[in-house]
Amino acid sequence: MVGTITYPITAATLTSPSYIFDESPVCNYPETVTVTDLPTFMTHNTASAKFTLPSTSNLALIGKYTFMVRSEIKIPNDYTMTTTTVMFKEEIVTVYVVPCTVNTYTATT
């Protein structure tokens, strides 16, 4: 999973690693992925399973944000496949938008 993302203000556009939910064993049931409470300044690409935070210098965005990623599959209860049981896994992603920092350098002569 993505876990925690830290983005320093004015950094280049940040794209998360891909996330994946696995079945065990793999039965290839159709999966539905939903994202809840994604910050408005971020985007989610379902096809690549990645989140993007575009480069910004908006200081008002500094702070902590959380959102949820949920994977859901429906498993047939028997061979007739007329009823199913929903199985799901949810993961919380935390995004920290942090201010710039100042580095101290020692001058040499």
- Give pLDDT, residue 105: 67
Cβ atoms of residues 103 and 13 within 8 Å: no
Whichever domain contains 19, its CATH number is 2.60.40.10
Within-domain flag for 41? yes
- Segment 64-95, tens digit of pLDDT: 999 999 999 999 999 998 999 999 999 999 99
Within-domain flag for 17? yes
Determine the average pLDDT of the residues in 36-53.
96
Determine the average pLDDT of the residues in 5-32.
91
Within-domain flag for 104? no
pLDDT greater than 70 at residue 38:
yes
Domain containing residue 86: 4-98
pLDDT greater than 70 at residue 52:
yes
Determine the average pLDDT of the residues in 48-73.
95
Q: Which residue has the tokens 């556009």?
A: 13
Q: How many domains does the chain have?
A: 1
Within-domain flag for 22? yes
Within-domain flag for 68? yes
Lookup: tokens for 86: 């929903």
